[in-house]
Structure 1
Amino acid sequence: MKYSTRPAVFIINSLEGGGAERVMVKLLTIMEPYFSERKIPVHLVLLDDLPESHQCPEYVNKKVLRSQGSLIEGYKQLKSVLEKLNPEYAFSFLTRSNFLNVALSKKLGFKSIISERVNTTSHLSGGIKDTVSRLLVRLLYNKAERVVAVSEGVKADLIENYAVPENKVSVLYNPYDIENLKLLASENVTDLPRKPYVIGVGRLVKNKNFSLLIKAYAKANVSEDLVILGVGDEESSLKTLADEQGVSTRVHFLGFKSNPYPYVNGAEYFISTSNAEGFPNAIVEAMCLEKSVIATNCESGPAEILAEKYPYQVSGVSQEKNGILCEMNNVQGVCDALKLFESEALRTSYAAKSGSCAQQFSYHAFQEKVAAIIDKVCK
């Protein structure tokens, strides 16, 4: 097969401290042999000039724009960059980057590959801005050459609610370097909380629903403390809630950690009470560290991982193949799950299942799938 040596361009809003940003950097790192062998120049374009929590690989040419979150400014600035680069294709992460990728691909004549990292319907469920975004998803996503969904649930949502043809959608689970995660988890940190504790990790925003976790934790009255890693605009209200629930001395907000793995590794188990996920990185990373998991059955990802079923419904709390699933927004369900994990035997059993389940998310499998997606678009 003859490969084009026109550049490959990757686009994302920024390299701030989030799951999509981390996966973009992992993708570029994992795919270096693929691009090197084919002598394809690779460029990463960041739409916004923001502090970076993730390091772009050295072989990638990075360009930082100053669109300041504006779709119009992003269009103008990105158009100028892509006109000069003349890529064979552009591969984008996150909604705003995806909009611009598809729109400019039609204008400039390159191929667009877009990756949806969240369940669109759950994620864009707010006011007028989200309504406009959902309309743009419906108008633009089906015009991409390829749509890459991070889970079966995200794929189903795009097909059923946004008119994306099924034959255009590929599912690509996030990649995990299990040995490196274990190495990072062994690093010494100076602010590990006293043991025993349980842990939740994520941005302190409404969608992650840490308020549900705090209420259930207070109700369950388990012996372990609760550690929460992350920052966000709900931090103050969550601390107030912990105080109101009488658990402020037992709930520890430790902020954002560039290496969260020692904290996860020290926990008895991991818990996620999110309202929506694209694919729950934090859950799989905890499983890579052989931690048993409790998760709400949100769209999308937890049921695919813990029950190995999709679509799937639970009522209250349910012990599944690889972990415990709870009904969304059900304080009693999460409380009951916490009480179940008072059994050390059950935690130990699920920890072993976590380690076994995590093996399917290897770097090698990820590289093969990404290569297949690119090769299909560029054939």
Structure 2
Amino acid sequence: MQQQSVNVAFMINSLEGGGAERVMCNLLRIMESYFATEQLNVYLILLDNLPEAHLCPKYVNKVNLDTKGSLLQGYRQVRLTLEAINPRFCFSFLTRSNMLNVAVARAVGYRAIISERVNTSSHFAGGIKDNISKLMVKMSYPYASEVVAVSEGVRADLRDNFAVPAARLRVIHNPYDIAHLHELANKPVADLPARPYIIGTGRLVKNKNFSLMLEAFAHSDLTDDLLILGQGDEQAALEAQAEQLGLSERVHFAGFRSNPYPYLKHARFFVSTSNAEGFPNAIVEAMCLGKAVVATNCESGPAEILSGEYPVTVRGFEAVRYGCLCQTNEVQGVTEALNFLNDEDHLQHYAQQSAQRAQAFSDDIFREKIIQTLTLDTSETKEAADVHPG
């Protein structure tokens, strides 16, 4: 007897430029053959009607909502959508999508699988709005059928600070198609800096702390230029800071690039100075291209990636197994790391270590872990979800 097809759903705020959005599209690409074999009809729900920087695979049924960032509008629109789809599960990324997924699941009756992509405590650092957001996470996440953390640091934060039961938490690192990244890196671009350069990428927002990168770069012995790829509301302040530091001729703010990999390929090494991460895609992507890495030891992700361990404490700067870890928000440590990688022997050693470490984050490993998550015994997960998590 032929198996009857079943609907499943995925949900994210939008497909604007960002790491979580890229991973969602990669997940759908990696899982296509599995979904076809299992005869699953796949839907992707986008909460907001915004420009899309990432391509959703063609086999996916994309549903564009227009919630305008509102949880109230989101609940109404998502509930109507998921009632019509009637999915076996809905797998969501990002806080707003996750909270809506859990709330609607309790009303409609499907498995809510949520994935936290950032260290929640660090992401909502303070202020009334952030405190409200943290309370809402604590009131919703423990009721999900399954919670996927992108790193060990994120898992520990959700368990210790947001009452998510340890039995319902699992870590799945992001996937990376190394061969495809090399293909993208080989595409020609016309605006590479004329001089040797190091590179940093990401949204130009306070949590990414590009201000620290500029300060350390100014104090370092490097003669290279610095290329920064990304856009955000801190750009004007960062440009003013670069001018004040006398770096206007050496720092290039190149904006967002849908294909940043040619710029990574031609850089000497990669730098990340974030105050908080979930699992920093940019670090691993640089390593996939064989680039040595300097990164602050923020929560969460860099220590796991660069040392293979968690947790790790660093004072100032430490050269660990796969890269250079620095104390968070501390200029001297980052400066020392930049000077360390300015030595060609150190640079070549850590370029080789990067390429070796990247092999641990393959599509195949990711695919198997996603399948395990999606195929958990539904009766067990429903029973767990019906029990008050406290």
Instruction: Give the TM-score range, shorter chain.
Output: over 0.9
Distance 1:178 1:123, change over 3 A: same
Aligned to 1:304: 304
Aligned to 1:107: 107
- Does the 8 A contact of 1:146 with 1:377 survive in 2? no
Distance 1:278 1:4, change over 3 A: farther
Taking the aligned partners of 1:265 and 1:256, their CA distance within structure 2 comes to: 16
Cα offset for 1:378? 3.6
Select between 330-339 and 126-135 the one with higher mean Cα deviation.
126-135
Aligned to 2:71: 71
Cα offset for 1:12? 0.3
Q: Deviations over 1:298-357 (max 9, x none)?
A: 000000011111011100000100000000010011111111112000000000000000
- Does the 8 A contact of 1:230 with 1:257 survive in 2? yes
- Does the 8 A contact of 2:6 with 2:39 survive in 1? no
Taking the aligned partners of 2:279 and 2:106, their CA distance within structure 1 comes to: 29
Q: Do residues 83 (structure 1) and 79 (structure 2) align?
A: no
Aligned to 2:222: 222
Q: Which amino acid aligns with 1:212?
A: L
Aligned to 2:123: 123
Percent identity between matched residues is 55
Q: Which amino acid aligns with 2:315?
A: S
Q: Do residues 202 (structure 1) and 202 (structure 2) align?
A: yes
Cα offset for 1:127? 1.9
3-state DSSP class of the match of 1:291? coil
Q: Do residues 281 (structure 1) and 254 (structure 2) align?
A: no
Taking the aligned partners of 2:53 and 2:371, their CA distance within structure 1 comes to: 26
Taking the aligned partners of 2:115 and 2:4, their CA distance within structure 1 comes to: 22
Q: Which amino acid aligns with 1:92?
A: S
Aligned to 1:320: 320
Aligned to 2:152: 152
Cα offset for 1:377? 5.1
- Does the 8 A contact of 1:288 with 1:358 survive in 2? yes
Task: Map 1:1-379 onto structure 2 (within 5 A).
Answer: 5-376=5-376, 378=378
Cα offset for 1:112? 0.3
Taking the aligned partners of 2:228 and 2:206, their CA distance within structure 1 comes to: 14
- Does the 8 A contact of 2:114 with 2:148 survive in 1? yes
Taking the aligned partners of 1:223 and 1:108, their CA distance within structure 2 comes to: 60
Q: Deviations over 1:193-238 (max 9, x none)?
A: 1231000000000000000000110011411110000000000000
Q: Which amino acid aligns with 1:321?
A: R
Cα offset for 1:283? 0.2
Alignment RMSD, CA only?
A: 1.1
- Does the 8 A contact of 2:269 with 2:292 survive in 1? yes
3-state DSSP class of the match of 1:41? strand
Cα offset for 1:4? 7.4
- Does the 8 A contact of 2:75 with 2:100 survive in 1? yes
Distance 1:373 1:4, change over 3 A: farther
Taking the aligned partners of 1:342 and 1:110, their CA distance within structure 2 comes to: 53
Taking the aligned partners of 2:259 and 2:209, their CA distance within structure 1 comes to: 22
Runs of 4+ residues deviating >6 angstroms: none
3-state DSSP class of the match of 1:11? strand
Select between 347-356 and 217-226 the one with higher mean Cα deviation.
217-226
Q: Which amino acid aligns with 2:259?
A: N
Taking the aligned partners of 1:16 and 1:276, their CA distance within structure 2 comes to: 20
3-state DSSP class of the match of 2:130? helix
Taking the aligned partners of 2:378 and 2:6, their CA distance within structure 1 comes to: 11
3-state DSSP class of the match of 2:232? coil
Taking the aligned partners of 1:110 and 1:200, their CA distance within structure 2 comes to: 41
TM-score (norm: length of structure 2): 0.96
3-state DSSP class of the match of 2:332? helix
Q: Which amino acid aligns with 1:220?
A: S
Taking the aligned partners of 2:27 and 2:195, their CA distance within structure 1 comes to: 35
3-state DSSP class of the match of 2:112? strand
Distance 1:14 1:377, change over 3 A: farther
Structure 2, unpaired ranges of 5+: 380-390
Aligned to 2:385: none
Cα offset for 1:130? 1.1
Q: Deviations over 1:47-98 (max 9, x none)?
A: 0000000111111000000001001000011111011111111000000000
Taking the aligned partners of 2:4 and 2:137, their CA distance within structure 1 comes to: 29
Taking the aligned partners of 1:199 and 1:172, their CA distance within structure 2 comes to: 27
- Does the 8 A contact of 2:4 with 2:39 survive in 1? no
3-state DSSP class of the match of 1:52? coil
Taking the aligned partners of 2:138 and 2:377, their CA distance within structure 1 comes to: 21
Taking the aligned partners of 1:336 and 1:365, their CA distance within structure 2 comes to: 35
Structure 1, unpaired ranges of 5+: none
Cα offset for 1:136? 0.9
